[in-house]
Amino acid sequence: MIRRPFITVVVLSLLLLACNGRSPNTGTLEVRLWDHREAIGDFSELWFTVSAVAIHPTGQSRTEGWIVLKPSIRELDLTQHIVGSEVVVAKTAVPAGRYNAVRLTVEEAAGILTDGQQVAVDVALEPVALDFPVSSDGTTTLGLDLVVFDVSDHPSGGYELHIREAILLGN
């Protein structure tokens, strides 16, 4: 005779497998990066360190409520990820719901120009407004199109890294 606790464990295990290990109130969020080809052609390498990706729930003040995601890749060479060759920097379970912004935090950036000169790259990343849902029955994919600007004709000079746009790639 099979005991009830055994049946309960089997049923719960099957339910967890049906949810792919996720709670029914979570969905999967994937965040991809690539460069838009502005000044990236000046570089043979442009390395930066991603410390976090964050999303903001709709209905909360922009100064609070951010959900911080740990990146799956921390260091990358942006010259290897031009349009059409994006890199996944985060893929994780997040609470299902509606969101209205995404933020990328980069610790540092530096590069080597095609002439061999090493340069620092200023990081000027601001949160980007983007309305998107995360549902519990699939994967939501966001894309962050980065751009490197040559600002050598400005008083500060050099290069700056910005987010050109954030887009919903799929849901």
List the pLDDT tens digit at each of the 171 positions of the chain. 545 554 444 444 434 444 444 456 999 999 999 997 777 899 999 999 999 999 999 999 999 999 999 999 999 999 999 878 899 999 999 999 999 999 999 999 999 999 999 999 999 999 999 999 999 989 999 999 999 999 888 777 789 999 999 999 998
Q: What is the pTM of this model?
A: 0.82
The answer to whether 118 and 110 are in contact (CB under 8 A) is: yes
The answer to whether 164 and 82 are in contact (CB under 8 A) is: no
pLDDT at 14 (0 to 100): 39
The phi-psi region of residue 8 (left if phi > 0; otherwise alpha if psi is between -120 and 50; otherwise beta) is alpha
What's the half-sphere exposure (Cβ side, CA atoms, 13 Å) at 122?
11
The answer to whether 162 and 49 are in contact (CB under 8 A) is: no
The answer to whether 142 and 78 are in contact (CB under 8 A) is: no
